[in-house]
Amino acid sequence: MVKTWEGEISQGISGAQIFSFSVLDKDKEVIQKLQDYQGQYVKVNYTERYATFFWLGDTKYFITQVEKEQSPHFRN
């Protein structure tokens, strides 16, 4: 059986645009970075599955890479 982590990223200041995603449990580095960068701007790479099964996560978007980014509003 495949375990997944589930999460949401706000894509706007108001939180009106929410991106729900899954991360495979085996992607420990991605999970750790998401936890470390919580509350900060990030850039993510993901794969989109067009068909999925109930045990493969709650969403069809699976994050595969996370990078910390500068805020577009507060750049130096």
Could you read off the pLDDT tens digit of each residue along the chain, which spans 76 residues?
A: 568 888 888 877 666 788 889 998 889 999 999 999 998 889 999 999 886 666 667 788 899 999 998 877 776 6
- Predicted pLDDT of residue 52: 64
How far is residue 52's CA from residue 29's CA, in Å, rounded to a whole number?
23
The CA–CA distances, whole Å, from 31 to 51, 58, 72 equal: 23, 16, 24
- Predicted pLDDT of residue 14: 66
Could you tell me the two tokens for 21? 């995603």
Residue ranges covered by each domain of the chain: 4-68
- Predicted pLDDT of residue 60: 86
